[in-house]
Amino acid sequence: MTEPRPIAVFDLDGTLADTAHRQHFLEHSPRDWRGFFAAAPQDPPLSEGVALAREAAADCDLLYLTGRPERCRADTEAWLRAHGLPEGPVLMRGDHDRRPAVRTKLEALRGLRATRTVRMLVDDDPLVLAEAERAGFRAVAADWGRTSRELRAGQEREGRT
């Protein structure tokens, strides 16, 4: 029996997808989360992240781990296909799950590690990266995107992405 390939876990927003064009939806109170997610299909790909995902797919199965709500699944999967990203399951937060990204993502990583080897996590969120490293995961910083402080607040304080 052969061992399953290790998993490379990739975040989407700010790692593979450039969200700069839609961050304006988050600049006013209340934040327009519906508008923010509705504009996601128009995200340009981040070439550095896409190249790394393709490279990782040579040795690993890919899994996409995002804070996007489940209601965005069809658009998210279509975006991945449209930009030629390697196939892989997409783990999303529940539509009403407002836990911080660091909690939801670390919970998912620990669950994955129970059955598979997780080779690396690629993410743009410094809090997620720090916690992943503390938990023993190899964390790769996606420092090629631009993430506003409003989006960071949404990830950590509002549990939105």
pLDDT, one tens digit per residue, over 53-70 is 999 999 999 999 999 999
pLDDT at 46: 97
- All residue ranges of the chain with pLDDT < 70 are 1, 147-161
Kindly state whether residue 52 falls inside one of the protein's structural domains: yes
Q: How many domains does the chain have?
A: 1
Kindly state whether residue 81 falls inside one of the protein's structural domains: yes
pLDDT at 145: 78
Kindly state whether residue 38 falls inside one of the protein's structural domains: yes
Kindly state whether residue 1 falls inside one of the protein's structural domains: no
CATH of the domain at 72: 3.40.50.1000
CB 53 within 8 A of CB 85: yes
pLDDT at 29: 85
CB 72 within 8 A of CB 92: yes
Closest alpha carbon to 113 in 124, 105, 122 = 105
Kindly state whether residue 2 falls inside one of the protein's structural domains: no
Kindly give, in sequence order, each residue whose CB lies less than 8 Å from that of residue 105, ignoring residues fewer than 6 positions away: 11, 65, 67, 121, 123, 125, 128, 132
Distance CA 137, CA 117 (A): 10
pLDDT at 98: 87
Kindly state whether residue 23 falls inside one of the protein's structural domains: yes
Distance CA 106, CA 112 (A): 10
Longest dimension (CA), the chain: 55
Domain, as residue range, for 90: 7-156
Kindly state whether residue 161 falls inside one of the protein's structural domains: no
Tokens representing 67 are: 């804070």
pLDDT at 102: 92
Tokens representing 59 are: 């040795």
Burial-class residue 37 by CB neighbours within 10 Å (0-12, 13-18, 19+). Answer: buried
pTM for the structure as a whole: 0.91
